[in-house]
Amino acid sequence: MTTTATPDPAPDAPRPGDLARRAAELDAADPLAARRTDFLLEAAPGVSAYLDGNSLGRPLRASAAALSAFVEQQWGGRLIQGWSDGWMAWPEVVGDQLGRVCLGAAPGQTVVADSTTVLFYKLVRAALDAGLAQGRDEIVCDTDNFPTDRFVLEGIAAERGARLRWVETDPAAGITVEQVRPLLGPRTALVTFSHVAYRSGHLADAAAITAAAHEAGALALFDLSHSVGSVELDLDGWGVDLAVGCTYKYLNGGPGAPAFGYLASRHHGRLHQPVQGWMGHAQPFAMGQGYEPAAGARGLVSGTPPILAMVPLRAFLDVLEEVGMPAVRAKSQALTAFCLDAVDELLAPAGVEVATPRDPDARGGHVTVRRHDFQAVNDALWARGVLPDFRHPDGIRIGLAPLSTSFAETLAGVQALQQLLAERDAR
C-alpha cells in the first residue's frame, strides 16, 4: 500500500493556533501592556471584548479617585473659592496640556469648552465670517463627513448665505488632496474635513490638504475626534488654522466630556466666534456694557467652563503624557494590523469585507468590516458581551484603544464574530 505524505503548509500559510500564539506573544512583548491595569476592567465582568474605545473610552482608576477627591476637597472644601483658586483658567490650562501632549500645538491656542458641535459651529462661523469680508462665500466639505459636521455646515450656509461645495467620498475610503483641489478657488473661505474618517478609519493627509487650501487663500479646519489620542498630530507643523475634537473617545474623558477647540495664534484677534458669552469676555467680572473678546484662544469660550467634566480628562492626559504619543501610535498600528490579519483569516471566508486602508500610515485607530447583515449581527454580539459598534448601512467598527485593549482581547472579539456568523450561515 502506497501512502502519500501530507505536505507541510507553506511558511506564510495560516496554521491552527497561529493567531492565538501571536496574540500571546504580542501581549508579552507590548511595552504598554501593564497600562491596562490603570483601567477599571473588572467593572464590566460581562464584557469579554470591548471594541468600542473609539466611541467611548474605558474609565481610569485614577479618574474615579480624582472625581471623588475633587467633590470632597475642592468642590466641598473650597466651595465658591475654587473659582479664584484656579478653576477659571482650566479651559486654557487643560487646553495647553492637551495641545502639548496630543496636538502638536504650542501654548495659548487650545481651550476645552462646550461640545464638539458647539465648538465646530463657533470655529466655522469665525472662519466663514472672515472669508465673507473678503468676498469668499464657499465652504468645501465631503459627503461622508460625520453627520454633526455636515448638519452644522448646512445650518451655517443657510444662516450666512454661503455655498457648500461637496466632495463625493466613498464610505469605504476617505478624503484626499486630489479630490479637494478641483473645488478650490477665489471664493473658497474654508475647507473642513475629519482627520480620520469615522466609518472607514481612513487617515487624511492634513498637511497636504491645508497647504492646498492656503494656496487658494482659504483656511483649513479639521475635526480630530477620531484621531486625537490614537494618531500623532502636529497642528502647528502642518499649518492647520482651526481644529476641534471630542475627549470621550481615545482621551477617556467619559460620557459628555467637553470638547476642545484649536485656533492658531496667527489668527488671534482676527477671527471672532459668534457666541459672545461672559466667560469669553476680556474682563468677565467687570459686568460692563459691550463685548470685548478675551485675548487668544480664550475668546472661544462662551459660558461657564465644565470643571467637573474636565477632571477625568486631566487624569488621562497625565497618563498619556507619561506614556507619550509615539508609543501609543505604535501600539495602535500594531493592534489594527493584527486585527486585519485576524479578519482576513477568520472572517473573509464568511464574506466579510474590509473597509479600512491596509497601509498602516493611512489608517487611524479602528478597523471597519462589512457584511449585509451586520446590524443584526452587532446586536447579537452585544448580547454575548462583545462590544463593537455598527455604522449604517453595513459596517461594524472594531475600535482598538491602545492603552486599554490587548491583542488577546482583539482576537477574542473577532473569534466571537466568526462563531456568530457560522451559526447564522448554518441556518
Give the start-end residues of each E strand in 168-305. Answer: 188-194, 219-223, 242-245, 260-263
- In one letter, which amino acid is 43? A
| CA–CA gap between residue 24 and residue 417 (Å, rounded) | 20
pLDDT average, residue stretch 330-347: 98
pLDDT average, residue stretch 145-168: 98
Q: Is 36 a catalytic residue?
A: no
Q: Quick check: 14 pLDDT over 70?
A: no
| CA–CA gap between residue 220 and residue 366 (Å, rounded) | 24
Q: What is the pLDDT of residue 9?
A: 42
Q: What is the pLDDT of residue 38?
A: 98
Q: Which of 39, 50, 120, 146 is catalytic?
A: 146
DSSP assignment of 185-242, as one string? STTEEEEEEESB-TTT-BB--HHHHHHHHHHTT-EEEEE-TTTTTTS---HHHHT--E
Q: What is the pLDDT of residue 297?
A: 97
DSSP assignment of 338-373, as one string? HHHHHIIIIIGGGT-EE-S-SSGGGB-SEEEEE-TT
In tens, the pLDDT along 272-311 reads 999 999 999 999 999 999 999 999 999 999 999 999 999 9
Q: Is 198 a catalytic residue?
A: no
Report field, pTM of the whole predicted structure over 0.85? yes
| CA–CA gap between residue 295 and residue 305 (Å, rounded) | 17
Q: What is the pLDDT of residue 107?
A: 98
Domains recognised in the chain with CATH numbers: 18-61+325-425 (3.90.1150.10), 86-322 (3.40.640.10)
The dihedral over CA atoms of 233, 234, 236, 241, expressed in degrees to the nearest 10, equals: -40
Q: Which of 222, 248, 250, 262 is catalytic?
A: 248
Cell of 301: 469660550
- In one letter, which amino acid is 248? Y
Q: What is the pLDDT of residue 217?
A: 98
Q: Is there a contact between 403 and 59 (Cβ–Cβ < 8 Å)?
A: no
pLDDT average, residue stretch 207-215: 98
Q: Is 165 a catalytic residue?
A: no
pLDDT average, residue stretch 17-46: 97
DSSP state of 72: I
Give the start-end residues of each E strand in 184-335. Answer: 188-194, 219-223, 242-245, 260-263
Q: Is there a contact between 425 and 352 (Cβ–Cβ < 8 Å)?
A: no
Q: Which of 122, 199, 331, 397 is catalytic?
A: 397
| CA–CA gap between residue 117 and residue 148 (Å, rounded) | 6
Q: Which has the higher per-residue pLDDT, 10 or 368?
A: 368
Q: Which of 52, 223, 241, 394 is catalytic?
A: 223
Q: What is the pLDDT of residue 15?
A: 56
Q: Is there a contact between 110 and 262 (Cβ–Cβ < 8 Å)?
A: yes
* Confidence grade of residue 16 (pLDDT, cut at 50, 70, 90): very low
Q: Is 249 a catalytic residue?
A: yes
| CA–CA gap between residue 138 and residue 376 (Å, rounded) | 40
Q: What is the pLDDT of residue 384?
A: 96
Residues with Cβ within 8 Å of residue 159, at least 6 apart in sequence:
none
| CA–CA gap between residue 341 and residue 13 (Å, rounded) | 12
Q: What is the pLDDT of residue 1?
A: 35
Closest to 151 in 3D by CA, of 138, 164, 132: 164
Q: What SS3 state is found at 315? A: helix
Q: Is 122 a catalytic residue?
A: no
Other Cβ atoms closer than 10 A to 254 = 21
Q: What is the pLDDT of residue 302?
A: 98
- Bridge partners of 399? 52, 366
